[in-house]
Amino acid sequence: MQKKPRFFYWFLLPSTLTAFGLIVAMLAILQYSVRSYIPGSLEVGGFTFDNFISLLRPLYASAFLETVLLSLYTAIFTLIIGYPLAYAMIRARKSWCRSTILIISITPLFLGEVVRTYSWIIVLGSTGFINSLLMGVGLIERPLRLMFTQLGVVIALVHVTLPIMVLMLAAGLSHIDRSYERAAISLGAGPVRAFLTVTLPLSMPGIVAGTMTSFAWTFSAFATPQLIGGGQVNTISTLVYQLGFSSLNFPFAASLSIAGLVLTVIVLWLAKRVTNAVERLGVN
């Protein structure tokens, strides 16, 4: 190990302080989660595990399930529509095509959750764009119920996570050496076969990274399930907010969010195990 110059410690200081702040904040959650709740007060009582036991109540158990399902659906649909987009962006011959796809698919990333969610409310609402269009054409008589449903939330969430998925897939695709594909084609494989047997397996790292990030983002999404779900779709994030701000039950909000974090870690860990297994299978 080389000797460290003095500036090394000055360079280490800011990040150490930041990390310290993060640890203290997480410890604060941990600390609150094992305190009892005194209704109507921000003060907390003595040590207890009751908060974690209350997590087993049906309302919270179903919120966990709902959150996992929402994240799962969103990750899958985002992957299905994100992949062609990333593929076209990397493989398009004309450079204006590439930059058009890039700008259109990435811009929503920088619009923020509130703007995008609000826009979807206008699209999905009962007098919104989709319903007006379908009723105007005469395809339906009564407005479809899209707001306050799981379907509506998933549509908006797919839109929210699409940019990051496209970025991760494109980063993976751009690193694939195209000579493998050409070799497959020159050996007689059709374009579909070459894609399925060569390009798709090689883009696995991007797919894994994209799906996991999409999953984690959906898990922490708040504005979309809150506004489009309108109380009909309860996720961990919306419940934590309600508990923290409406009932000021900090201890329970803390234990709920810790359980949420544990769940995220477990799901991501499982996903990694599964993909590792799949990759090993592919190698053999």
Partner 1 sequence: MKRSRSDQLLLRCGQIGIVMILLFVMLPAIVVTIASFNASSVLAFPPRGYSLKWFQNAIAYRDFQQGLWNGLIVTLWASTLATLIGTTLAIIIKRYNFQGKQFLEGLLLSPLFIPHFMVGLGLLMLVSQFNLTRGYAVVVFCHVLLVLPFVLRSVYVSLHNLDLRTELVAASLGATPLRVVTSITLPQLLPGLAGGWLFAAILSFNEFTASLFVTSQSTQTLPVAMYNYVREYADPTLAAVSVIYIVITATLMIVANRFMGLGGILNVEKK
Q: Which is nearer to partner 1, 41 or 62 (CB)?
A: 41
How many whole angstroms separate alpha carbon 173 and alpha carbon 62? 38
Q: Which is nearer to partner 1, 28 or 61 (CB)?
A: 28
In the complex, minimum distance from the CB of residue 99 to partner 1, in angstroms, rounded to a whole number: 6
Q: Which is nearer to partner 1, 30 or 282 (CB)?
A: 30
- Closest residue by Cα to residue 173 from 154, 199, 150: 199
In the complex, minimum distance from the CB of residue 135 to partner 1, in angstroms, rounded to a whole number: 10
Hey, what are 211's tokens?
A: 């799906």
How many whole angstroms separate alpha carbon 41 and alpha carbon 167? 45
SS3 for 214? Answer: helix
CA dihedral (40, 57, 35, 219) in degrees, to 10, reads -100
In the complex, minimum distance from the CB of residue 58 to partner 1, in angstroms, rounded to a whole number: 22
In the complex, minimum distance from the CB of residue 167 to partner 1, in angstroms, rounded to a whole number: 6
In the complex, minimum distance from the CB of residue 67 to partner 1, in angstroms, rounded to a whole number: 10
Quote the Cα angle for 28-53-249, to 5°.
Answer: 45
- Closest residue by Cα to residue 243 from 262, 257, 229: 257
Burial class (CB in 10 A: 0-12, 13-18, 19+), 7: exposed
Q: Which is nearer to partner 1, 133 or 282 (CB)?
A: 133
Q: Which is nearer to partner 1, 99 or 282 (CB)?
A: 99
Q: Which is nearer to partner 1, 233 or 280 (CB)?
A: 233
In the complex, minimum distance from the CB of residue 201 to partner 1, in angstroms, rounded to a whole number: 20
- Closest residue by Cα to residue 212 from 270, 276, 273, 268: 268
Contacts of 61 (CB under 8 A, 6+ apart): 55
